């Protein structure tokens, strides 16, 4: 027998579903809704009535279309799946393991607008002796406390904790031994993670602080890398926004759903730093404000239905919803087990990568996170350009965007195809609106439980 190793053309995956041809269905069309749009007192009244009178609740349930999901016969031949985790295994038996440290991370600094200082700016200034972490953090705390527009983005700051971390970082730079490229960099954490010594409310009036204390694994990795956590940021109350058809908009518009705004009547509402007449988006709105306003270059967020991506889009930032199960949050309990993940927001791609690679350090005590390989170095530009790259576009969904959004997205696709060697492939997504309903039903059920 030949001793040559068989070369694999595809990486192996754990949990990858079988490839099957999907059913043929009618193209996606913008759905219309029949439930009334309610706010304030009318919403409270109808909510109370629906909770007391089952037939009212049943009527509203039926009107949403949730019950129709049972009637999709195309799904009868599919086994229900409750955990969407798919894990990429090693591409090669000869691949070298990557050390579980941040010292091997080397990311080139990217220039940004005057509003934003990058992580590399801070660490370079520290190494050159132009600034110290203590000076930066002292000035930052003064600025946040002095201006309401900044302070409303934070639910809790413990100055003595923050200054102690800054002084420790200053001492490390003085001795020439910074922990990583994140050492001394100010960051912010959404009120959905646990941070030892801090309270947690999920942006509500309810106390969700862990009785036994503890810090979420991914946040602890930032701390271990020397990041200085300024405080806990505001969020949309309980992470839940409103999604409903807007009958006043043209039927051709895809804006028939509203996004989570981070309008929080309980804790206060941070406004968009680019235009205070607009929201930051949510539910990670406080974190988005902290980055977009230039207070911190990196912030933590959580996403089960857009709660990182929406505020990133509203505030002109970069946001990443990582692979499900990739980022460990233990001992924190997930709000939505099959939907929710935690990830970073940043003002530039270099900082987003830096933040993500540290957050995603595998957690040996987490049965899912521990199966992932540590984040590896990205391929070289020449390697990226030579790889076959494909973008699947579902045109009925894509074209339902407003003209301004569609124009921007088409310009991006032109750049991908003309400059980055991507190939566009038309695809079909069956039962897309039903998938939206299924997502809403799943995440609402998980959060309410």
Catalytic machinery residues = 190, 283, 307
How many Cβ atoms from other residues are within 10 Å of residue 209's Cβ? 12
Q: How far apart are the first and last CA of the chain?
A: 57
């Amino acid at each position: 027998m030949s001793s040559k190793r068989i070369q694999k053309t595809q990486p192996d995956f754990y949990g990858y579903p079988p490839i099957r041809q999907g059913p043929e269905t009618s193209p996606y069309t913008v759905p219309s809704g029949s439930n009334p749009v309610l706010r304030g007192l009318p919403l409270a009244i109808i909510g109370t009535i629906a909770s007391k009178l089952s037939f009212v609740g049943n009527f509203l349930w039926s009107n949403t279309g949730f019950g129709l999901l049972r009637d999709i016969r195309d799904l009868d031949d599919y086994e229900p799946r409750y955990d969407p985790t798919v894990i990429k295994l090693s591409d090669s038996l000869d691949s070298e393991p990557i050390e579980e440290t941040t010292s091997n991370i080397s990311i080139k600094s990217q220039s940004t607008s005057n509003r934003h200082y990058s992580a590399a700016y801070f660490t370079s200034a520290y190494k050159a002796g132009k600034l110290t972490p203590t000076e930066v953090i002292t000035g930052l705390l003064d600025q946040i406390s002095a201006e309401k527009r900044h302070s409303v983005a934070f639910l809790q700051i413990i100055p003595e904790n923050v200054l102690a971390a800054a002084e420790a970082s200053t001492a490390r730079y003085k001795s020439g031994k910074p922990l990583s490229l994140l050492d001394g960099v100010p960051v912010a954490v959404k009120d959905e993670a646990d941070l030892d010594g801090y309270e947690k409310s999920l942006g509500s009036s309810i106390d969700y602080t862990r009785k036994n204390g503890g810090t979420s694994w991914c946040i602890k990795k930032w701390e271990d890398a020397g990041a200085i956590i300024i405080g806990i940021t505001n969020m949309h109350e309980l992470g839940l926004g409103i999604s409903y058809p807007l009958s006043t908009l043209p039927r051709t518009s895809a804006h028939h759903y509203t996004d989570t705004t981070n309008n929080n009547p309980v804790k206060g509402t941070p406004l968009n730093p680019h235009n205070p007449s607009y929201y930051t988006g949510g539910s990670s709105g406080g974190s988005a404000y902290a980055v977009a306003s230039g207070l911190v270059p990196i912030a933590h967020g959580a996403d089960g239905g857009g709660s990182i991506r929406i505020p990133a889009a509203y505030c002109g930032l970069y946001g990443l919803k990582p692979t499900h199960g990739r980022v460990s949050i233990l001992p924190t309990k997930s709000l939505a087990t099959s939907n929710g993940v935690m990830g970073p927001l940043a003002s530039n791609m270099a900082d987003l990568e830096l933040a993500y690679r540290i957050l995603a350090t595998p957690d040996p005590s987490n049965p899912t996170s521990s199966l992932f390989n540590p984040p590896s170095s990205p391929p070289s530009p020449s390697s990226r350009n030579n790889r076959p790259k494909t973008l699947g576009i579902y045109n009925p969904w894509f074209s339902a965007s407003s003209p301004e959004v569609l124009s921007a997205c088409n310009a991006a696709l032109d750049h991908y195809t003309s400059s980055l060697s991507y190939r566009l492939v038309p695809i079909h997504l069956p039962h897309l609106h039903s998938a939206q309903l299924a997502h809403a039903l799943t995440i609402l059920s998980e959060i309410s439980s």
